[in-house]
Structures are given as structure tokens and as C-alpha cells.
Amino acid sequence: MNIFIKLMISVCFPAKNEGKFIERSVKAAKKTPNVMEVIVIDGGSMDDTVKKALKAGAHVVYQSDLKYPGKGIAMRDGVYYARGSIIVFLDADIKNLDSSMILSLTKPIINREADFVKGAFGRKAGRVTELVAKPLIKMFYPELSSFNQPLGGEIAGLKNVFLSVNFEEDWGVDVGLLIDIYKKGFKIVEVDIGFKDHDMKPLHLLTDMAYDVAKAILTRAMMDGKIDRIGYEKHIEAIPRGIGESS
């Protein structure tokens, strides 16, 4: 019985206005072996995201009462509500999501080869990753520079790992988790989850993302004594603007 409990998986989708894909995504997750629940954390959708998520059998967590929900807050809430000992986070707009992606993310944890898993997918990393995240990671956390998709939203981890760290409230959450979980000494691996077919983010979101990602990395670097306040501000001011591709 204890072994069975350890294998139980909660799949979480932070979502806002994802009615086009959420029903299919929830159904794909529910078909995956050992998935005990699917949670959709809704950030105040104005479309039929909630209706379709419920129809597909998801448990929906509502964030409509929050002024600025944010991806990181949605993920933090997902950890709080998840009952599984393994938690998977997936972007809600993956058009070709299937069980193989979830199995690839969770296999190293089930086999006790990792505590936290980052998913890498079959396309070139976007410009926020290449122009902002990777250079800053290489500069301040070179031990993590081998990760191809440090901003990827497809991750899995033991619940106790997620409970041990704080969540950035915004787009800096994914790279923040990578750095913080590494600093805690947990074992991290990156796995290939195949081709990821999803919509590109609009330009205004990418500029916000670039700032949030840089802030997450630089704040940690400053706290770790790798950079001072003047250096922090200099790097923040140098963030590229109008860099238009998916992350």
C-alpha cells in the first residue's frame, strides 16, 4: 500500500482563457497511469475554460478574487491542493499533449533517479531563454547552464520538494524553482518530452516575461553575494525589449 501511495501523481494546469485546449489536455492527463487527479488553477478566465475543465473531470481552483493572480501563485496553489506525492505542472495550451509527456517527466522520480525534473522539447529555445535566461544563468549559476529549457513550464517533482521552496508570483517562477531547488541540494534532471506544439505568446507578454525572468535570477544572485545592487540594476536596465518569439 505504501508503494502505491508513493506513485500517485497530481497533474496541475495553471490556466487563463485556455478554453480552446483545456478539455483535451485534462482528458489526456487523466488517461495517464498513476494520475490520481487533475487540477486546473484558473486565473480568472473570461472564456469557457472552467466549464470545459469541469466537463473533462478536473478539479478547478478559482483565483478570480485575486487582483494579480500570476503563474507563480497558480503553481503555489496547485501544490497546496495536490494530494499526490508527485506533482506535474504543464502548460495548458499544448496542442499535442499526451500521456507520454507525463510519463517522461515522472519516470526519473518514480525510479528514484531525481527529485525534480525539467522537460525539454523538440524545438529551439525562444528569445527570452536565449537572450535573457541562459546568459544570466551562465554568468551566475554556471552549474545549471547545461539545461536546454530553463524556462520550460513542463516540470515534475516530489511534493515535499515544492513545499521546501518559495514561488515567484510571476513569469520568473520556473527559473526561480530551478535555482532554488538546485541550491537545496535536490537531484535535478532534464528529460526530452518530444515536440511541443503550442501557440506563441503575444509580444507584450514576452517583454513582461523577460523582466520577470531577469529579476528572478538577479535577485538570487544578489542574495548569494554574486552581484551587488549596482550590478543588479545595471543588468535589469539592459534587458532587451520587443523581442518577439515564444519563450
Q: Is the pTM of this model over 0.85?
A: yes
Instruction: Look over the chain and give the mean of its residue pLDDT values, rounded to a whole number.
Output: 89
* Tally of structural domains, the chain: 1
Which of the pair, 1 or 185, is modelled with greater confidence?
A: 185
Residue 84 lies in a domain: yes
Residue 135 lies in a domain: no
Residue 238 lies in a domain: no
Residue 129 lies in a domain: no
Structural contact between residues 87 and 162, judged by C-beta atoms closer than 8 angstroms: yes
Residue 164 lies in a domain: yes
Report CA 37 to chain centroid distance, whole Å. Answer: 18
Residue 116 lies in a domain: yes
Residue 222 grid cell: 544578489
Q: Give the CATH number of the domain where residue 59 resides.
A: 3.90.550.10
Residue 17 lies in a domain: yes
Residue 66 lies in a domain: yes
* Residue range(s) defining the domain that contains residue 83: 2-124+148-199
Task: Tell me the sheet residues that pair with 190.
Answer: 118
Tens of pLDDT along 146-160?
999 999 999 999 999
